[in-house]
Every structure is written in C-alpha cells, then in structure tokens.
Structure 1
Amino acid sequence: MVFAAPNDALARAEGVLGADPSPLHASVAHQVIGIWQRDWGDMRIALRHLRRARDLAARAESAEREADVLAALGVALVHAGRTQQGLAALERGVERGSGHTRARVLYRRAYAHWVLGRHREALEDVRRAIPVLRQVDDVIWVARALTLRATVHLAVGAVDRADADFTAAEALWGTTGQEHDKADAVESRGLAAFRSGDIPVALRLFDEAEERYAKLGTPSFMLYIRRCEVLMAAGLASEAVIEADAAIGVLDGIGGQSTRKAELLLVAARAARLAGDPGTAIARAALAVRLFAGQRRPWWETHARLVLIQARVAAGRGSGRLVADAAAVAEKLASFGAPAAPEASLLAGRIALGLGWTDDAERHLAVAARSRHGGPPLARMTGWAAQALRARSAGSGRGVLEACRRGLDVLDDHRTTLGASELRARATEQGAELAALAQQASLESGGPRRLLVWSERWRATVLSAPPTRPPADPALLGDLTAFREIAARAEEARSDGRPVPALDREQRRLEREIRSRTLHIRGETPGDGDRFDVGRLLARLDGVRLVELAVLDGRVQVLLCGDGRVRRFEAGLLAEAEVEAEHVQAGLRRLAHPGAEARLPLVEAMGRRLEELLLGPAAAQLGSGPVVVVPPGRLHRVPWALLPSLRERVLSVSPSASSWLRALETEPPPDDRQVLVRGPGLASGGAEVPELADRYGRPTLLEHEAARVPRVLRELDGAALAHIAAHGTFRADSPLFSSLRMADGPLIVHDFERLDRSPHRIILSSCDTARLASVGADELLGLVTALLPLGTAGVVASSAPVNDAAVVPLMLALHKGLSTGLSLAEALRDARAALPGDALHQATGWAFTAFGAV
C-alpha cells in the first residue's frame, strides 16, 4: 500500500502501532513508516524505524519477514551513503530469504547496484529475480523488476532493450492500483524518450509524472534530475541550474537521501558549466565527487570528475595534468560502458590540442570520433566534433568542412523533432563549435563565397520553417485567456499604485503552464533541403547590396554581396561594437524625451564609431543603391539607420540572407485587406490610426473594446497590411511572452504562432517591438522573428523606446509612401527625411527599422 496510496499507508501503519500489535505486525508497520521516510522524508527517521522493524522481525522468529526488512534497510543505508553497511544488509537478506521473498530481496539489491552505478551486478540480480516473480504471478514486483532492468539498459545506452522492458512493464502496471509505481513508469518512459532524442515527448511525460506525484503528495527527486538533463539538452541550462538547486534545498530541508543530493549536485554542476558559470560548476562538481567517493559509487564519481575537468577547462585551466585526468576518466567510463566516454576522450583531445601536443590529441580524438557513426544525436555530434578537430590538426580544410557538415546535418535532423521555436533556437548552441570551425576553415582555405555559405549554414535557422502550430488544446487556450485576464488586472492595479503579489504569482504560474504545454509540441517539419545558394542570392540582389556580418575570433568580417560577387572586409572587434551599441541605446532613450537636444551630437558620434567597428572599409564600397544588413544575433539592437553611410538610403535588416530571399519570394495574399489596431494607454492615443482609417477607405478598424486579442488575431490572419499602435513590452527573461497591449490584456508571441498566416506586411508603431533575445548559436526570439516564418515578408518595428507623439508624423509619412507603391524600406527612408530636424524626431526615425524584403 505504501506505493499505491503512500499517505494512507503511513496513517494506517501509525494506527497499527497505536493498537499494541504483535512483534510481527509491528515489524510491518515500522517497515512501512521507514520506507515512507526513506523515499519522501527524513533518512534518519527512516533508519530508526527500519532497524526497529528488523529487530521485531527477529523477535517474531520469521526469517522471511526479517529478509524483507533487511532488503528495505539495505536500500536505505545505500541511499544514506553507507554503502558497505547497506550491501551487507542486502546480502544478509538474500541469505535469510527463500523462494518468493528472496526474489524480492534480489530485486532490491539490483536496485541498490543501479544506484551505485554497478550495472552488470544489477542486471545479474534482476535476471535471477524475474523468473521466480513470474512463477508466483507477482505482477507488481515483475513490473518493478522490468522497469528497473529497462532503466539499467538506458544507463549503458541499450535503448532498444529498455523500450521492450518499459513496454512490458507498462502493460502490467495497467492491471494494478500501484499509483506511485505508475507515476514512476510514466517518468521512466519520459527518460526513454529523452535517450532516443525525443525532447518534447520527454518533457510531456515528465510533466505528467509530476502531476501524478503531486496527487500522491510524494516528491520525486529522481524526476528533478532527469528533467534537468532534458532541459540541458534543450539548451535551457540556466533553468536546469535553478531547478537542481531548488531540489537540493528541499532535500536538505527534509533530511533526505544523500545519494540523491550527490546526483543533484552533479546535474547542477553540468548545468552551470553549460550556462557559462564555470565557478559554480567547479564548486558543485567537487562536492559531488567527494560525496560519490564516500558513498563508494565509482560510476557516478567518474562522471562527476568529467564535469569537474570540463569546468576547469572552461575556467581557462588547461594543463598537461588535465589531459591525463581526462584520459583516465575516459578510460574508466569506457570500462563501465558509459555513453559519456567519447565526451571525455574529446575533452582530452581538445586540451592536448590547446597545449600543442598533436600526437596525444590525435590519439584521444580518434577514440572520440568513433561515436560519430551510431548512437543518439548528441553522441554523434561529439564524434563529428572530434573528427573536425582531427582534420584541423592535420591541416585538412576539406576534412574540417566535411566533418562540420555531417555533424550539423545530425543536429538538423534532431531539431526537426522539436516543434517549439524556443527549443529549436536554443538547440543550435550544440552546433556552435562546428559552425565556428567551418567558418575558420573557410576563411583560411576558401574565398569569401565559401565563408558566406558557412556563415549562413548556422544562422537564423529557426526562421527556415514556421514553428509547428500549437494544437487546438482547450487547456492551452484556457491558460492563454486566463493569462491575459490576470496580466490586465495586474497592470491596472500597478497603475493605481496597489501591490499585486497574488496576481504576480498567478501570472507566473500561468506563464509556466503555457510554456510547458508549448514545449511539448513535437516537430512536423522535415529537414530543410533547400541549401543556401550564393549564385541565387547574387542574381536576386539586382542593384541591392547585401552586407552580411560574420564574427571570427571576436572580429567582425564584412561580406559585401552585389554586382555578381562577394567581397570580404575586416572591421572591428565585436565586443567593442556591443558596448558602443548599448551606449547608443542609452542615448536614444534620453532623446525620446524633450529637453535632451544637447545629446544629439554625442549620439551621432556614436553612430560614426559604430560604422567603423561594424563596416570598416566596406562602408565606402556600398554604392548608391538599397542596402540589406544581415547582422549576427548579438548585434540585433544596433539602430542601423544611425550609421552615416546608411542614414539616407533605402535600408532593411534581415536575420539571414536566406531569410531575406524567402521574404522577397513570399507571395502577397490575394485580397488587399488592411487591418488597423489601436490598443489602450498610448500617450498619443494612437492618433495616427483614425487618419489612416480615412486614408485607406474601408480598412478593418479595431479599437477600444473591439481591440481584444481573439478578434485581433482573427483579423490579422492573412491580411495584406496590418498597423498596430499599442504599447510594446519586451521580456528578456522569457522573450516569447513579449507583448502588445490590447483591450483585454497582452497579445504575446505565443498568440502570433497560432496564426495560419501572419500579415504580409506589418507595422508595429510602439516601443521595443524590434527588441529580440539572442539565444543558441545565432538565433533570435521575439515579436519580429515570430512573424517572419509565418508568412510576413516585411516588418517595421522599433529597437528602442520612442516618443509616442513623435511616432505619429513618422507613421503618417510612412503610410503615405506605401500608398504610392513603395516598399517598407523605401517608405521608411522617405518618412525619416520628412520629419522635423529636431533631436526628438530624428531619434524617433533612427529607432525604427524595416525588416524583411518588401
């Protein structure tokens, strides 16, 4: 009963002890309390009850009862870090038990071996237990044994065997009332999905398991560990750190299992390293190593040592000693049959290369490269990274490019299983090293054309296909509606100066629910076989100059495309350009308010400095025609119209050259429908919207109560032109919750992703609508990048705060140009020129950018 209805079992056991039971019955009751405390409470209390249960079983002179208690006690001692005592208790249980009871003890000893990382011993014990349990038709324990055997198979990379055992166990669990075991089975299926590379399904199953555990009131620390592993694989390492640290806090608070604490420390260390925090990773990994060593868990200790070495290397501590340490870890992991062994060999080879030890590097990298031909996607990525480094060490530029191509193809296939644009964007981080190696090889051994191809290969890949449309999930739609209502109420309360802690908590809860459901979406789009073609790009430019900025070794490389050729120029350092761009943003914020005119020359000087850093000598080679700028993700906040050579010309920005080509070739909708939306609370009241309504004759006008999210989305779908005057809010912490304020609350990026086709051209006349979050290798998340893959060919939006009143004449002039047949970029250029020459209006014009190609 303790795994069917845990809290009821605990109450019943306490009731038994209060009724003056016999030693035999008291032994059972103490064992139930001990198991409950062992798995979900205080380990010290657990050991006290289990020892009492063992003593009472001896008094009852029941060898079978004593064997069963010894097995539960042995598992508890192992979880408490007392490995020798635990294994001794389990050995004694095997000796005391017979037949059916002995098979159950063998299962528990197999479980203890799995906890300790002794996988061969675990498989042997469970192999001996299963036939006996089947013979006596013990369905529950057979299902437990199959689940454990599947979990051990996964630990050593035998995914197919694990799938077979999980399937058999699930069929058995369906016939029982063991609710906690059923939840554990769902969790295990999630683990299997993750090991086979299906992250959305893994996240969905883990969320389902968590709901089941919550109903039982029993936390599962193993679930936290497994979910952290999936979050890391999905590129959400910072979230994994937070989740692991929170779980450690809960575990410490209840005095829980020290084995689980060590495992949580290990996963926290891995996550911190991936999140770019090597100091935290070193501290967590070093503590995990000490705990695992004390618990006599060499399999786990070796994995912790791998993370410790990786973190030290990330902190800049490359040395010959670390090469030897990494090689020793790789050898030990290989002896365990651990899937992480190639990762350790790659690490040893990488450190050796950094020290110039080419022979040692080749030896280790050759071992790591073997994994490129089989196994899950990330293991094959490790192998191709090792192969690329081998080729670079041998001076083979062609070999580097081939290995990088094959490795990125593997990751492309993996990313197509991800439906959520956030997961697809963040997953690109795993290919960043391969992309950088290929670009470096292109720079050294190829011409500008080849560098352009590889610059495009791993840039803005999320925009290559629309995200999988969220299903018509009533729960998701309900959460979105509730989120809007709560957010609107919270905003109203804040404007009245009232505290809103309860509303803030509910809003955060709903955000978690929406995001969680979105991450469950599985990808449906096949891999994009339409590779970037330089010749096709040059043919379509037709008098346009496309400027793609690549970054190699921290320096900006300018690839100037036009007149049938690609030329390369070297500009400044990316880090200096990023700092200057932040200074410009601060200057534009000041200029958005009256009275800051004196800062205008300073901001213009910053624009000249940015041009030197970002365009260098290419600025003098732009010609006189239109320019398309393709910046890296980290430069998305640059107001490009401020640069002197771009200030008075037709200028548009695109996340990639491929994205610009797709926008250029996007067919407009058959009807010329215009939609004008005016949200609440603008200082200008969205004054341009009524004038635009008169100018367009009979557009769809949504304002006041008509500007509610469901109606706005319905009208935007498939429109030829949309103009939205609404307050924009950018969420750096969660960019897909960036929003435009409507009458009933925020219209968020998740809402836009529900459109069948976003407007062909869209103008967002408010603050921060072009602000984006740079994630993954070179990806951007935000309003603009949500629209481009959904059918939008051109967007006008602002990358800085703007003065609402000054926006009105800019927008009216912009639409005047559009009505004469100009593109967005052409109309925006003319609109800037038509503005008054004061600092306020100049800053407003610079803050807006045309994205796309029409």
Structure 2
Amino acid sequence: MLELLPMVFAAPGEALARAEGVLGDRPAPLHASVAHQVIGIWQRDFGDMRLALNHLRRARAWAARADSAEREADVLATLGVALVHAGRTRHGLDALRRGVERGTGHTRARVLFRRAYAWWVLGHHREALEDVRRAIPVLRQADDVIWTARALTLRATVHLALGAVERAEADFTAAEALWDTTGQEHDKADAVESRGLAAFRSGDVPAALRLLDEAEKRYAELGTPTFMLSIRRCEVLMAAGLAAEALAEADAAIRALDGIGGQSTRKAELLLAAARAARLADEPQTAIARAALAVRLFAGQRRTWWETHARLVLIGARHAAGRGSRRLVADAAAVAEKLAALGAPAAPEASLLAGRIALDLGRTADAERHLAVAARSRRGGPPLARMTGWAAQALRAQAAGSARGVLEACRRGLDVLDDHRMTLGASELRARATAQGAELAALAQQASLVSGGPRRLLVWSERWRATALSAPPTRPPADPALLSGMTAYREIAARAEEARMEGRPVPALEREQRRLEREIRSRTLHMRGEAFDGGDRFDVGRLLARLRDSGDGQLVELAVLDGRVQVLLCGRGRVRRFEAGLLAAAETEAEHVQAGLRRLAHPGAAARLPVVEAAGRRLEELLLGPAAAHLGDGPVVVVPPGRLHRVPWALLPSLRERVLSVSPSAGSWLRAKETAPPRGGRQVLVRGPGLATGGAEVPVLAGRYRGATVLEYEDATVPRVLTELDGAALAHIAAHGAFRADGPLFSSLRMADGPLIVHDFERLDRSPYRIILSCCDTARFATVGADELLGLVTALLPLGTVGVVACSAPVNDAAVVPLMLALHQGLDAGLSLAEALRDARAALPADALHRATGWAFTAFGAA
C-alpha cells in the first residue's frame, strides 16, 4: 500500500484511481489511512481543498486506529501543509509541530521537509532553511532518493527567494541528478520548472521561457494543473516586457483555481502576480484592486513576506494613479525597511518608490535619504536590480541639480539594459525590453535640453530610439519543429482564407491557426541573443557630414519631452532646435488624416480632399512648427517617434513636393547610407493571388527588367519567394498585405500557398537591398517598448534592406498601378527610392483618388 504515496507524483491519475479502489474493498485501518492520504494529496495539489482536508482528517483518524505513530506523524505533516495552503496557518503549523513530535528518524526527516515547505510558502525563509538543513542528512543516510531530491529542490527555491542564485543552482543540479534515477514524473516536471525560475533569476529570459514551456508540456501529459508555473511564468513575462500577457495568464489561472476550489495560498500569489502585471501594463486601478485583495489574503494567512511584497505593489499602483501623499511616502519607507529585514531582493525597489513619491511632493531631503539606499543596488546583482539602482542615482542627481550626474547615471543604467537586451534573440523581446529604460532615457533628454543644447539632446534622443534595429535579429534555428509548424500554419491560414471567401464557417481552422501561432511565437521567444559589439556610437559630426554629401539635405528628428514635440533640425553643419505642438494633438490629427485617406481610396469621395489637405496643414503646425520655414530646398529625412508612425508625411505642405524619406532613427539612416549594394544587381518581381488589378504592373516591369526573376501564380510560394529574395538588389512584391495589431510579427503578404509573415523574413541571410511593397497596410506598425516599432518594414531594415517603399493606409488598387510604373521609371533612370517616389507622385493625374494614393506611400530608409 505504501507504494501509492510516491505514485501521486509519478502517475497522479493512476494513484487516485487505485486509492479509490482500495477504499471500496473495506480495507484495514493502515491501508485506509494510506488511501485517504493519497486522495487528500491529489485533491490538495490538483483539486478541491475542502475535499482534501476531509480525506486527510479521515487518514489521520485511521492512522490512530492502526496505532501507528509513524503513520500518524506522516499524515499530520500532509494535513499541516494542506491547512497552510487553505489559509489556516495556525492550525497547519500546529499539525506540523505535532508531526515532528510524533515521528522519529526517517519519518521525522520527511515531516521536517514538509514543515520547511510550509515555512517557504509562508515566506519564513530562515526557518525553512533550518528545517531542511536538519532533514537532508537523515534522508541521505536512509538512501531516500526521492525525498532527498525534493529537499534539495526546496532548499534551492528558498535560496532563489533570498537572491542566492549560485547556491540555488548547485542544489538544483544535485537534485536533477537524483531525479534522473527515479520515475517521479511530476517531481521531474517540477524540477524543470524550478530550473526555469533559476535561469530567470540569473538573467537568462529565453532559457527561462523554454524551461517553463517544457514543464508545462510535462504537466499536460500528466493531466495536472499548473498554478505555480503560471505564477513563475508571469514573473518572466513581465521581465520580458509582456505585462499584458502576464496579466491575462494570471487572471485566467485565478478563474481556473476558483473553479476547482483550489489552494487559497496560490490564489493570493496569483493576485499578486496580476497586480504587478497590471501596474506594468499601465492599468493602475486594476493593480490597486488585485493588490488590495492580495494584501488581505496574505494577512489572513499570516504570510508577512508575501503581504509586504503585495503592499509594495499596492503603494506603487496608488502612486501611479496620482494618489501621492506624505502618508504614502511613510508607507513605502516602512515596506522598504520590512523587506530589508526579511532579506528580500525587492527592498531597493521600495526605497526607490519612497524616493519618487517624496520628490513628487517636493520633499527633497526625504527623497535623498530613500534614493541613496536604493542607489546601492546599482553596483551588483541581476540587470533589473542594477537598473533600479541607476534610476535612483539619476533621480538623486536631478534633485541636486546636477545635469552631468543625471547623464552619467542614465548612461550607466542604459548600458546595463543594453547588455541584458542582447541576451534576447527574438526581435519582439528586444523591442519590448526597452520599456525598462524609458524613464532613464526621458531623464537624460530633459537634462540635455536644460544643459547641453540641441546636439546633446539629439545624442540622447538617439540613445534609446529604434534600438531593436541596431543589431541584426538572431537568425531562427534550423529547428525541424519550428519549420514544420510554420508550414502547417501557412497551410491552415490559406485554408481559412479560402473558406471565408466561399462563405464557409472557419472556427475550427481559426482555433488551429491560433494554436500554431502560439507555438511558433513560443519557439522564437526561446532564442538566445548572439554576441554583438553594439556597433559605433551615434556621432553627430558623422551625421552632418553624410547629410552634406547627400545633396545638402536635412534630417528632422522629432523628440518628445513632457508631451511636447521638440524638432531637431540637422544639416548645413549644425543642429537647431524648435518647439512644436503637443504630441497627443498630433496623434489625434494623424488618425483623422488616416480616416480621410481611407475615404479618398474610393471613387466619388473627391469632396473630402480639402478636408484632408487642411488636416495636413494642421499636422505640419503640430509636428514641425517654425522648423518648417527652415527646411531649405534639399531632400529631407524625417525621424519621428514611434507613436507617429502612421503620419503620411508627404501630405504636409512643406514636404509635399520634395525628396522625402522616413527612418526609425538617425543612426539607422546612417547605417543604411553606408551599406553597399549586393553584387550582381538581381531583380525579383512577385505577384500574389487575389489582387483586384491582378498585379497589373508586374508584367510591364518584367519587360523593363530583362532577366528579372518573376514569381507569379503557383510559382509564388513562400519557400520559393524567400529563396529568390535573399540577397536581391531590388524586389517588387504585389500582394495583399495584412497587418496584425494583436501579433505584429504575424503581419503578412499573401502568397500562393499562404501568408509570408515577418518570422519568415527573419530567416533571410540578407533581405533585398531595395524592396517595394505595392499593397495596403505594409507600412503599419505596432508601437512597443520605449520607442520601438514591430512590423514588415522594421523586420527588413536590420537584415540588409536600406530602402523600402510601403503604404500606411488602404489605397485604390487601380490607382497604385500607374504610381508603381512611374516609380520604377525613376529607378531605371538611376534615382533613389525617395527621388523616384517624389517624381512618381508628380506624374499621376491631379484628381483626389491618385493624389491620396501618392500620399499613402512612403519611402523608408536611405536608398
């Protein structure tokens, strides 16, 4: 009978069935005790806590009838853990104390382990380490492999909570060697999960995501819930900049836990995870509600460690909601003091929060005291802890009026984050991780505006702009599972599109498509970054020299400080600053313009043209202000913030008749200007299915570019198109574009065999030197992180593409054809993309339909 107990964590379903079978055969007291204990453990960890407590009390009663002190001690330990998880802390600890007293030798060591586990759940880490220290030698002496491995895993987890990563990794390694000799599949899955947590604590986010996904698959095979895993994954997702996903996962886990009547302790921890995620997702009211409930639950469970962390989140959310007060400063300071006494790594974060609130209230002396404590963490620990320290140091310098000190602290802090970002292989994670440096970048810009003049402001504007494009993304591995998943995704997406066109239902196909998207994205997030030296630091002199060499052009970089647009006009050997309008007003006007362009894409909407042109004039005033009068006659490069990516810049009166290009950053424009074209000058023309005009420009272009590779009809498949695009000098793709706001890296171009997505482009060794996308919505992006863009165009730029022509709005397909033919005529004459697009607009008929079509297309980059 006793073999059923280890089976609960080897084959949980089988153990439950066998225990229920034993109870149906009128067993002896000893056997009945074991059976009820097995059912109680199963319900405690995977089901209903009320049923768990009922079975465990019956197990204790049967153990007493069997007159076995060792049996009763073992059941008391299991019952004690269950009571603690149910939030009945005092009764749980009392049961565990009695279990320690009743047991002897080997049994007592197992009870000590479970009390150590209870101490860990409660946040009493020193007590947990003491009990596990006493248990491990006895378990080893008894050659109890399973319980020794459990004890080592627990000790490692406690070390992680206290920030002792190296000690944790040593224990995890020793435990893993023991697990490999057993058949404890659930324990093995738990060990993989714990290794994921250790990887995260050591700063390896991709490895953490991979290990947590592996653990989830193992749990799924066993049919067991994954509430603890959800808590840990939320922590990793938040560090990866995926706070909204973490909030969704935590809330879903809370609903599932409530549905089965699960552990009260886990619910409190999930509420804390949800509160943290909501705070990072800029949802302070949601964070306040979740954190307040977590505080009440933790207090009722007598879990001081956890309650204090929940109070930290609650105070931070209240501050974000604008509820600053002297009382809030005192509360944050008290939390910082308590966390420090508990040995919690989050203590500097609380001190930083106290300092922030004090600064907002003008209490500089109080702020200095708290910030000085927080700043100590800048010298060591994981990257995000050091970032906390450098943020505190920057705020100290700002309060002291030292612009130099602010800039130095911001530089050091962003350097730490740069190193962290380069461990991330996925371009999405690199982009999202920049949000963690947004405050430092803003502080530096403010300091440079006050003390350093336009040049210094330009340098700091560039320091944290479009950084995800500063290094090529890690090439996805030749992973057979990933490749087959992308092929399956393409097939399912094509079938779903065909069904929609035929009016057939598609729910099953859409569910499978979403499943495959999750799998593809998951595998790409597991990629670890490759070593990159960061390239050359941005140099203003080099930029001005290159602008002079490019026909005395000017570069207009728009920085945003305190909600207002600052125009940095670079050219003719100097950088000048002008102040324009409010960013929020410009965003609103840009949306109005987009709506106007959508209407003008339909014949008969010419009456809307004056309205759109008037909106363009208002946009110019908001975005360029007085700088518009100083642009000169040469070409202009516009570097807008990410939130203005949908502005049709050619609509602005001062830019309408000139050579115009748009770049995510001045640095990326410089890199593009200095990128040599590939040898051979190969051209590729692609025509996808379902276009209203049939891609009418492609046959004409095929006649113009003798020897060009033409892919159309059944030849325009994703594998073939990617093969031909790799290293091409010029590519023209006429295909339906689809932008995915919910998953920008699944934005696509429709090919004969399904969608060509951003993840496909990232597999190229070198994307085409120049590429023209003659379809709608190819220049739409998702704004993420501090000032990053994810979409088709931004996927191409780091891979070797120096110039892209793409469209930011729906356009009339028939009007696109003459624009494209005129554009290629200019390229054939040796013009750049920006020059050719300017001339192509001028060559179109002057009616509203064609003018709107020309405005909707933009030249990106520098070719």
Query: Does residue 55 of structure 1 match 2:61?
Result: yes
What is the number of residues matched between the two proteins? Answer: 854
Map residues 106-125 of structure 1 onto 2, 5 A cutoff.
106-125=112-131
The amino acid across from 2:413 in the alignment is G
Q: Distance in 1 between matches of 2:48 and 2:509?
A: 34
Q: How far apart are residue 496 of structure 1 and its match?
A: 1.4
Q: Secondary structure at the match of 2:646?
A: coil
Q: How far apart are residue 529 of structure 1 and its match?
A: 4.4
Q: Is the 8 A contact 2:471 2:532 kept in 1?
A: no
1:795-826 alpha-carbon deviations (Å, 9 max, x no partner): 00001111110000000000000001000000
Match in the other structure for 1:352: 358
The amino acid across from 1:135 in the alignment is Q
The amino acid across from 1:574 in the alignment is L
Query: Does residue 679 of structure 1 match 2:688?
Result: yes
Q: How far apart are residue 840 of structure 1 and its match?
A: 0.4
Q: Secondary structure at the match of 1:497?
A: coil
Q: Pick the aligned partner of 1:840 from 840, 849, 863.
A: 849
Map residues 542-553 of structure 1 onto 2, 5 A cutoff.
542=548, 543-553=552-562
Q: Distance in 2 between matches of 1:544 and 1:46?
A: 75
Match in the other structure for 2:818: 809
Q: Pick the aligned partner of 1:427 from 430, 433, 442.
A: 433
Match in the other structure for 1:688: 697
Q: How far apart are residue 40 of structure 1 and its match?
A: 0.3
1:605-663 alpha-carbon deviations (Å, 9 max, x no partner): 00000000000000000000000000000000000000000000000000000000011
Q: Pick the aligned partner of 1:623 from 629, 632, 640.
A: 632
Q: Distance in 1 between matches of 2:533 and 2:158?
A: 33
Match in the other structure for 1:713: 722
Q: Distance in 1 between matches of 2:341 and 2:100?
A: 28
Structure 1 runs, 4 residues or longer, greater than 3 Å off: none
Query: Does residue 237 of structure 1 match 2:246?
Result: no
The amino acid across from 1:422 in the alignment is E
Q: How far apart are residue 559 of structure 1 and its match?
A: 0.3
Q: Pick the aligned partner of 1:126 from 128, 132, 138.
A: 132
Q: Pick the aligned partner of 2:571 from 562, 566, 578.
A: 562
1:159-214 alpha-carbon deviations (Å, 9 max, x no partner): 01001101111111111110000000000000000001100000000000000000
Query: Does residue 151 of structure 1 match 2:147?
Result: no
Match in the other structure for 1:22: 28
Q: Is the 8 A contact 2:80 2:92 kept in 1?
A: yes
Q: Secondary structure at the match of 1:549?
A: strand
Q: Secondary structure at the match of 1:801?
A: coil
1:198-252 alpha-carbon deviations (Å, 9 max, x no partner): 0000000000000000000011211000000000000000001110000001100
Map residues 405-416 of structure 1 onto 2, 5 A cutoff.
405-416=411-422
State, as a whole percentage, how many aligned pairs show the same letter: 87
Q: Pick the aligned partner of 2:231 from 218, 225, 236.
A: 225
1:384-409 alpha-carbon deviations (Å, 9 max, x no partner): 00000000000000000000000000
Q: How far apart are residue 490 of structure 1 and its match?
A: 0.7
Q: Distance in 2 between matches of 1:589 and 1:423?
A: 32
Q: Secondary structure at the match of 2:15?
A: helix
Q: Is the 8 A contact 2:557 2:569 kept in 1?
A: yes
Q: Is the 8 A contact 1:413 1:527 kept in 2?
A: no
Q: Distance in 1 between matches of 2:337 and 2:504?
A: 62
Match in the other structure for 1:772: 781
Match in the other structure for 1:294: 300
The amino acid across from 1:531 in the alignment is R
Query: Does residue 260 of structure 1 match 2:269?
Result: no
Q: Is the 8 A contact 1:465 1:525 kept in 2?
A: no
1:647-696 alpha-carbon deviations (Å, 9 max, x no partner): 00000000000000011011111111000000001111100000000111
Q: Distance in 2 between matches of 1:259 and 1:40?
A: 13
Q: Is the 8 A contact 1:412 1:527 kept in 2?
A: no
The amino acid across from 1:441 in the alignment is A
Q: Distance in 2 between matches of 1:527 and 1:770?
A: 30
Q: Distance in 1 between matches of 2:553 and 2:535?
A: 26
Q: Distance in 2 between matches of 1:666 and 1:684?
A: 35
1:692-719 alpha-carbon deviations (Å, 9 max, x no partner): 0011112100000000000000000000
* Alignment gaps of 5+ in structure 1: none
Map residues 4-83 of structure 1 onto 2, 5 A cutoff.
4-83=10-89
The amino acid across from 1:622 in the alignment is L
Query: Does residue 90 of structure 1 match 2:96?
Result: yes
Match in the other structure for 1:668: 677
Q: Distance in 1 between matches of 2:424 and 2:34?
A: 48
Q: Secondary structure at the match of 2:290?
A: helix
1:456-514 alpha-carbon deviations (Å, 9 max, x no partner): 00000010011100000010011101111111111111111222110110000000000
Q: Pick the aligned partner of 1:638 from 647, 652, 673.
A: 647
The amino acid across from 2:26 in the alignment is D
Match in the other structure for 2:3: none
Q: Distance in 1 between matches of 2:774 and 2:94?
A: 72
The amino acid across from 1:784 in the alignment is V
Q: Is the 8 A contact 2:736 2:775 kept in 1?
A: yes
Q: Distance in 1 between matches of 2:58 and 2:725?
A: 70
Match in the other structure for 2:4: none
Match in the other structure for 2:324: 318
Q: Pick the aligned partner of 2:370 from 364, 369, 390.
A: 364
Q: How far apart are residue 520 of structure 1 and its match?
A: 0.2
Q: How far apart are residue 304 of structure 1 and its match?
A: 0.4
Q: Distance in 2 between matches of 1:319 and 1:724?
A: 58
Q: Secondary structure at the match of 1:272?
A: helix
Query: Does residue 481 of structure 1 match 2:506?
Result: no
The amino acid across from 1:375 in the alignment is G
The amino acid across from 1:576 in the alignment is A
Query: Does residue 389 of structure 1 match 2:395?
Result: yes
For the aligned residues, what is the CA RMSD? 0.5
Q: How far apart are residue 525 of structure 1 and its match?
A: 3.0
Q: Secondary structure at the match of 1:762?
A: strand
Q: How far apart are residue 527 of structure 1 and its match?
A: 4.1
Match in the other structure for 1:654: 663
Q: TM-score, normalised by structure 2?
A: 0.99
Match in the other structure for 1:379: 385
Map residues 403-552 of structure 1 onto 2, 5 A cutoff.
403-542=409-548, 543-552=552-561
Q: Distance in 2 between matches of 1:220 and 1:631?
A: 44
Q: Secondary structure at the match of 1:672?
A: coil
Q: Distance in 1 between matches of 2:812 and 2:248?
A: 38
Q: TM-score, normalised by structure 1?
A: 1.00
The amino acid across from 2:589 in the alignment is E
Q: How far apart are residue 526 of structure 1 and its match?
A: 2.3
Match in the other structure for 2:771: 762
